[in-house]
Structure 1
Amino acid sequence: MRAVAVIGFKGSGKTTVASYIVGELKRRGLRVAAVKHAHGGISVNDEDSGRLFGAGADRVIAVSDDVVEEYRRSRASLWEVISQLRGFDFAVFEGFKSEFPGVRLAVARNVEEARELLTPLTVAITGRVAKEDHSGLPVPVFDLESEGERLVDFLLEKAFEPLPGLNCGFCRYGSCVALAEAVARGEAGHGECTVLSSKVKLLVDGKPVELNPFVQDVFRNVVFALVGSLKGVGSSPSRVELRVER
């Protein structure tokens, strides 16, 4: 799954840009997910499902012929969200301008804002700044109105699978953002991520759970030790799959 974070200050037009990218990617036949960072909390609608949630339900699901709307009370870190979306072709994240471990598209109203949003992971800029002199900016600037398709072409070329965001500290770069910056520069690959390259995979209710190397070793050693003690099992099995139901 490739992904991009659409970043910018409040009122810059991030949602407009993110919506355009999602629509254009869908037009090209991709399976697309979108994630919005809601800084001020989430406004629940006044329809029946929202009223049920507001009444205190821990989870509300409204089902129609082609859409499922869900509210649930939960806490989720960025890495948990990224992990759950890996079956999609592309994901568009709106916000997460400091912690997103992948490429970023800055939406800026002027050159000053654009410079504030520049990071080693900012691959392009769009927004009202495209209408003024932006010749001094170090990355491409796209006018969404006239160059929207070119912008999406560029993002498809530059975007890569985001790192887990666990910041486990086991790779030589020390954090997922630092490793993502090295990937963007062409100095590293995803194989250096000790989580993505893990030979231990954990699914809980069908959802993948990323494991840092210490936890991987615990799972691996315990499972192989238990299985190796069973009659009829070879002394050194190379692959074990275990499914447990409550």
Structure 2
Amino acid sequence: MIAVNVVGFKNSGKTTVAVRLARALAQRGRRVAGAKFAHCRFDRENADTGKLAEVCRVVAGLSPEETMLLWPRKRYLPDLLPLLDCDTLVVEGGKELGWLPRIVLAREDADLAPLGSDLALAVFGAAGTGNEPTDEDIERAADMVIERGFALPGLDCGDCGRENCRELAADIVAGRAAPGDCRSVGGGLRITVGGKPIGLNHFTQDLVAGTLRGLLSTLKGYSPGPVTIEFDG
């Protein structure tokens, strides 16, 4: 999966840019999903789903036109990725995310550092290409996302030799590293759920691989070598 994070302060045009970017990516044949971060509860006052969420751990809403899944507690974006039928993800908001490259909407130069310009594939605003990106800007940004977008697992495990995923992400954006330098998705054990890789630090990889190796060694026909296990979760 490739992904990008559209960030900016309030009323900077994040939603408009995210929608325009997602549309441009979809027109290029990408299967695009969107995610939105908010600092308040999503509006569901007096809705049946809201009433159910008061007493249920998880609520699913289904209609002939759409499907919704509501967790009345915090979940992390990597937990949801296996549910998203996409190859490209556009995330609106979430300035605290350090494992995605960014499109930064800066109203003035002082906004750049707080908005994480070290992760920026493109900057629009005071230090970029004008207060509102043109259609041409969006088209160039879409091409850049396809070429350079990525999503790290966000484990902050340090297996890549850096303190956290943000440092690796900044190095990838700067051209000093590549997404494949993330050891948690490129080690000897690889697990995918819904086609999306699950990040595993070296301790978890060793634990799971050792457990599976021990179980498999009791089976007839097993011999050391590459192993493929597939099952429906």
Q: TM-score range by the shorter chain?
A: 0.7 to 0.9
For residues 169-222 of structure 1, give each alpha carbon's deviation from its aligned partner in whole angstroms, at most 9, with x where no partner exists.
111123111111111122222222111103323456887542211111111112
Residue 117, structure 1, aligned to residue 106, structure 2: no
Number of aligned residues: 233
Identity of aligned residues (%): 30
Question: Do 2:7 and 2:14's aligned partners in 1 also have CA atoms closer than 8 Å?
Answer: yes
The residue number in structure 1 matching 2:28 is 28
The residue number in structure 1 matching 2:159 is 170
Question: Do 1:102 and 1:161's aligned partners in 2 also have CA atoms closer than 8 Å?
Answer: yes
The residue number in structure 2 matching 1:101 is 99
Q: What are the ranges of 5 or more consecutive residues in structure 1 without an aligned counterpart?
A: none
More divergent stretch after superposition (160-169 vs 41-50): 41-50
**Alignment partner for residue 201 of structure 1, among 182, 190, 205?**
190
More divergent stretch after superposition (41-50 vs 208-217): 41-50
For residues 32-84 of structure 1, give each alpha carbon's deviation from its aligned partner in whole angstroms, at most 9, with x where no partner exists.
11111122233225333333334x23332222223112222343224334x43
Question: Do 2:104 and 2:120's aligned partners in 1 also have CA atoms closer than 8 Å?
Answer: yes
**Alignment partner for residue 84 of structure 1, among 82, 85, 90?**
82
The residue number in structure 2 matching 1:241 is 229
TM-score, normalized by length of structure 1?
0.79
Residue 185, structure 1, aligned to residue 174, structure 2: yes
* SS, match of residue 101 in structure 1: coil
Question: For the structure 1 residues 60 and 99, does the alpha-carbon distance in structure 2 shift closer, same or farther, using more than 3 Å as the test?
Answer: closer
> Matches of residues 42-61 of structure 1 in structure 2 within 5 Å?
42-54=42-54, 56-61=55-60
For residues 7-29 of structure 1, give each alpha carbon's deviation from its aligned partner in whole angstroms, at most 9, with x where no partner exists.
11122221121122122222333
TM-score, normalized by length of structure 2?
0.83
Q: What are the ranges of 5 or more consecutive residues in structure 2 without an aligned counterpart?
A: none
RMSD: 2.9
Q: Which amino acid aligns with 2:27?
A: R
